[in-house]
Each structure stands twice: as structure tokens, then as C-alpha cells.
Amino acid sequence: MPSQPSDRLLRIIVAAGESGSFSAAAQRLGIGQPAVSHAVASVEEWLGTKVFERSHSGVRATPEGAELIGRLTASFAELDRSMSAARTHADARPVTLSVSTSLATYWLAPRLPEFKLAHPEVELRVITTDSDAAVGRDGADLWIPLGPYDDPQLDSVDFRVEELVPVAAPRLAAGIDPTRGPAGLLGHPLLHLEERYTPRYDWTRWFAHFEVQTPAELSGVRSNDYSLILHAALGGNGLALGWRHIVGALLADGSLVEVGPAVSTGSVFPLLTRADRCLPPGAEALHTWLIQTS
């Protein structure tokens, strides 16, 4: 016995019944007439009875066919209403973005009015975290992790290339001799970002990039919260390594100044979404905006 007809075949049956001809049904559905004839033949074979009477003027449903088409029409109408309601509910729910605290504070927050102006219909929910442990598993729609992230269940596009530059508050920067180059920063207080699970680019690697010899352990204040590192830098308490996309606005308004050469690591901060589902319109709008916003 042939398998039960699919939803697609049954919808073709309904279109043929409503159109009164296979040609008109094919045109309405954007398929070829042979596909309509095949669908009708398949359904009739499975039912063991005729659904349509053929004539030169078109087709007419048999009594059994008319009853079937009536039931299918009502069923599909209810199904379509349910799907539409579910989609409306999904579109209306907040779009959730998961980012680090520092990215949310220093990059996202100043730009949010621009997004809301362009997309007033989108309700945005921002989750801040300083760990990648929940990426892909916390119910968010989009994630910007702390660095490169590989998960086959997530689609990835480049958000920003990693570039770091030493920064300091203007009053602290005024005491740095630029003629001494990178080595000249060793005599100043340094602010260190420490992470327990995923080591980040640090001062030791920055000095090594410029072939500057350093002690086995550099002194200075340490924290695992990058927002606190930047807060300390803004307060003039030390030099920080600034991720360019995060400190860009602080450099632009003069709150911080560059005190040494930048290093591009070649690594990428990705923007992640789930690979097994399409983004709802609001999340798609946010995804596009994040990629396009400098």
C-alpha cells in the first residue's frame, strides 16, 4: 500500500477542487500541470476511490472528493491560523542578545538609540555575561562571545577582528615618554585581565610581540571583570589593553588615549545564531544592524 499522502499533495487536491481545473490549480500554485495530475493520482490510489470526474471543460469533485476537500479546507484553514498565531507570538517576543558586560556598556549602550530609531517595533533584551559557558544554551537569539567560538550547532559570521591597543587616562598618559616605545610602558602601573578558563591576550604577549623583555610576572592590579579594568583605567589607576571595538568611543571622546602601538591578532569576535532555526524578523533586523554598525 502506498504511503499516506503528504500535506503538499493534499493542498494540491484542495487547489484543484477550488480551481475547477488542473491547469488553473497548477498556475495558482506555481507548479506544472503534470505535478497536479500526479498528486491527484497518488491521492486517489491511496484512497482507493476517485476524487475528481474529468471532462473536456475541466474537473468536478465526486461526492467522496467533495467531502474530502471540504474537510481538508477546514483543517488547513485552522492549521494556517494556528501557525500564523504562533509566528505572531514569536515575532512579538523580545529579541535576546547575549554579550559581555564591557561590550554592552561601552559599545552597545551608546548605539542602542540608533537601533531603536530604525526598528521601534523590536523589543530588545540584553543578557550580560563574562563567560562563554552558556553560549547557545541560555535561550538567547544571538550571542557575541568573548573570543573565537566553534560550535557546529551555531552559525557564525564575523563581528569584529581582534585589535588591542594600550590605553590610559589623559593625566596618566601625560607622564609616558613616547620616544621609549613599548618598553617605556614597563615603568607604569598595569591593569591585567585574568580569566580562569579562557586565557585572553595579555600584557606579557603584547610586550613579547614587540620583543620587549619582561619579568616572569608583571606587577599591577588584576581583575576577571573587564568592565572593572576599564573603570580603573578611566580613573587613572593604570594602563589597560583595550579591545579597539570596545574602547573606540572612549578614545573618540578623549576619556582614554592611546599610549602604545596596536596589535591585531587575526582572531575574530563572531556573531552567533542557532544553525537549526531561522531568525524571526526582529532578530534578523538586529543581526543585520550589528554587522553593519561600526
Domain boundary among 64, 91, 118: 91
CA-based end-to-end distance of the chain: 60
Q: How confident is the model at residue 196 (pLDDT cuts 50, 70, 90)?
A: low
Interval 189-211 mean pLDDT = 86
CATH code for the domain of 283: 3.40.190.10
Interval 123-152 mean pLDDT = 89
Rounded CA-CA distance 11/236 in Å is 70
Domain boundary among 91, 118, 149: 91
Asked if residue 1 is part of any domain, the answer here is no
What the block records as the C-alpha cell of 268 is 575574530
Q: Give the whole-number percent of the chain exceeding pLDDT 70.
A: 95
Rounded CA-CA distance 186/204 in Å is 11
169 and 252 belong to one structural domain? yes
Asked if residue 180 is part of any domain, the answer here is yes
- Domain, as residue range, for 28: 7-91
CATH code for the domain of 82: 1.10.10.10
CA-closest candidate to residue 23, choices 11, 8, 12, 9:
12
Rounded CA-CA distance 263/260 in Å is 10
Q: What is the pLDDT of residues 226-254, one digit of tens each?
A: 999 999 999 999 999 999 999 999 999 99
Quote the number of domains for the chain. 3
148 and 169 belong to one structural domain? no
277 and 143 belong to one structural domain? yes
CB-based burial of residue 280 (10 Å sphere; 0-12 exposed, 13-18 middle, 19+ buried)? middle
Secondary element (H or E) of residue 222: strand 221-223
Q: What is the pLDDT of residues 251-282, one digit of tens each?
A: 999 999 999 999 999 899 999 999 988 888 99
pTM summary value = 0.65
Asked if residue 137 is part of any domain, the answer here is yes
Q: What is the pLDDT of residue 85?
A: 64
Q: Are 191 and 236 in contact (CB under 8 A)?
A: no
